[in-house]
Amino acid sequence: MARRPAAGAGGDYSAEHIQVLEGLDPVRKRPGMYIGSTGPSGLHHLVWEVVDNAIDEAMAGYCTRIDVTLLADGGVRVADNGRGIPVDEHPQYKGKSAAEIVMTTLHAGGKFGGGGYKVSGGLHGVGVSVVNALSARLVLEVDRDGHTYRQEYAAEPGRGRAAARPGVPQGKLRAVAASKRGHTGTTITFWPDPDVFEETEFRAATVTERLQVMAFLNRGLTITFTDERTGHKDTQTFHNDAGIVDFVRHLNHAKEPLFKDVGSFSDSGEEGEVEVAWQWNTGYHEGLHSYANGISTTEGGMHAEGFKRALTQAINRYAKARNLVKGKDASFQGDDVREGLTAIISVRLTDPQFEGQTKAKLGNTEMRSLVERATNEHFGRWLEEHPNPAKAIVGKASNAARARSAAKQARELTRRKTALDGVGMPDKLADCATRDRDATELFIVEGDSAGGSARDARDPKTQAILPLRGKILNVERAAMDKVVANAEIQSLTAAIGAGIGADFDLDKVRYGKVIVLADADVDGGHIRTLLITFFFRQMTPLVEAGRLYVAQPPLYSVEIGGQKVYVPDDAARLRVTEEHANRQLQFARFKGLGEMDPHELRETCMDPATRHLVQLDVTDQEATADERLSTLMGDDVEARRSWIQHNAKDARFLDV
């Protein structure tokens, strides 16, 4: 029987307990609700919010240039040559400029049907005000009506036990100078608040990847990136006259195209506008990436659905009309025709309906009709006008259909063997005891030695261990029938329990977290990359759901002041040496996970209280992840070398 709490023992609940969060206080109280997290992804989200406002100006036809700068003191400056945020007094808020309302009020902006924007990505209206709320300081500069206006905001400490007040104006918006002749635009400079974020150091590659995609999606727009930080000096310019056609070429640059030209079309109707570009390659993976008003719809939606349907119909019609298929190959499935496809679908519409706060899926049914009609018409005509590429596409689809049939037979054979053997799990799997899936973790390790150490170090109630023999197959270069026939991949698939490829079902995954645990050296790094490639290509929903992690074992240990300190890599070893220049430090290098004592492995990799895990996240960066894995795991050695040389300065984990 439930007992009623005694009076005064925490059971009182009256009007004084009701909190009203005003202004920007809700953002400060629950930042994760607005930017996802206070880790690196949330930190970079601040940049996206400001850049996306400038992109909206570009989509409206008023902005041709955006400049993004990482400042030497840790701040970020984003400047555009759009119309500039309105600076006149807001009619509903006497004594306050429209710019101040935008910067300090949630759900204030020109994107809610007031005529400011016909097409826009930022329809929640919380963007730039959230940046202000989570910054220690922010400076707004607006060039408009022949003047440069300036206003500064800052987080002010609360009085007594009161919380800090975020984004407080430090004076009125004022004209401080005459702007350059004819120049208009908005410049926002902000410094993330270290009291909010786990870290405040921006990663240049993360920023430039996003800016490059924005330039591809907005033909003719120039976006510059400048890094003024010590040791990171860099300048890059992104501009594409061919738009998404250049985007497809970029995504395929590390692959072998099936034909030279990139096909494309654009169309419009009462529903909105659609642009599509495509090119097949000799690989085995589909690279279909969709966008709505510049927002990456990683879960697809109606526009992607319309394209897929029309693509399959058009290729089947063409193949039958040309007698290129016979018998049981008379009709291709969607997966067959999309094997090796790289395509970009970009739509623009007045009132996009996104499913969920993340905007990962477009729900407007009218866009399915527009894209399907346009694809049937334009892609069908393209096949007729390009007979050699069309024949190559049909040939590749035929091979994919045969491989799909062989893979299905291999899966069925594996299932029959499992049923006959009466054993559903791999022999080497050391499973956990609990059946509470959300509390469980599967550690994937390489080799029996590492597997033995991990078994001794684990919590058997919640942690399972699966040792693999050697490096798994590089699925980037293998057809599906080869993938499902691989013994180690069969073990991995059986342990996770949710199928593989098109058959994968996220609801059937047996563990709450899947954790890759490999040595900290170069070989371990290669194994990690092979496994990440496998999960991204064959169990994509697992990655998208944020359930794939990478453990960070140390490369060294060292005694400092009688305490053992674990050092993750050579760069960290150098920092420790510099911090303790007066000591003679003796670093011990771990030869591998199998050489670590169970308590060392538990403390550094398996104990939730002391370990460090990296969560794999492809949220709204799926095209970049696709291109990255193709570069690192594909056949183009020169592209791989070039990427490594360019990004070496951003590396966090090195083994030299």
Residues assigned a catalytic role? 446, 519, 521, 523
Q: In this structure, what token pair is assigned to residue 425? A: 């799990």
User: Are the CB atoms for 448 and 592 separated by under 8 Å?
Assistant: no
Beta bridge partners of 257: 281
Looking up tokens 């040595």 gives: 519
> Alpha-carbon distance 416 to 403, whole Å?
20
User: Are the CB atoms for 608 and 461 separated by under 8 Å?
Assistant: no
Helices marked H in 497-586: 522-538, 540-544, 570-579
> Alpha-carbon distance 143 to 185, whole Å?
5
Give the number of other CB atoms < 10 A from CB of residue 645. Answer: 9
DSSP-derived pairing of the beta strands 613-615 and 548-551 = antiparallel
> Alpha-carbon distance 56 to 514, whole Å?
38
User: Are the CB atoms for 597 and 584 separated by under 8 Å?
Assistant: no
Q: In this structure, what token pair is assigned to residue 372? A: 């399907």
Task: Give the 3-state secondary structure of residue 517.
Answer: coil
User: Are the CB atoms for 483 and 473 separated by under 8 Å?
Assistant: yes
| The one-letter amino acid at 295 | I
Distance of CA 577 to the CA centre of its chain: 35
Annotate 20-55 with b (16+ C-beta within 10 A) or e (fewer).
eeebbbbbbeebeebbbebebbbbbbbbbbbbbbbb
Burial class (CB in 10 A: 0-12, 13-18, 19+), 78: buried
Report the candidate in 233, 170, 241, 223 with the shortest Cα–Cα distance to residue 47. 223
Beta bridge partners of 466: 444
Looking up tokens 């049907």 gives: 113
Q: How many helices (H) and strands (E) does the chain have?
A: 20, 22
> Alpha-carbon distance 619 to 318, whole Å?
36
User: Are the CB atoms for 444 and 492 separated by under 8 Å?
Assistant: yes
User: Are the CB atoms for 191 and 137 separated by under 8 Å?
Assistant: yes
- The answer to whether the Cα torsion of 269, 272, 275, 276 is positive or negative is negative
Looking up tokens 């008379």 gives: 330
Longest Cα–Cα distance of the chain, Å, equals 84
Looking up tokens 């050489």 gives: 595
C-alpha dist (Å) from residue 290 to 188, 206, 240, 388 = 29, 20, 18, 27
Give the number of other CB atoms < 10 A from CB of residue 647. Answer: 14
What order of strands is seen across the sheet that includes strand 587-589? 563-567, 556-560, 587-589
> Alpha-carbon distance 276 to 360, whole Å?
19
> Alpha-carbon distance 368 to 366, whole Å?
5
Task: Tell me, letter by letter, the H, E, C secondary structure of 413-431.
Answer: HHHHHHHHHCCCCCCCCEC
Looking up tokens 């699925």 gives: 475
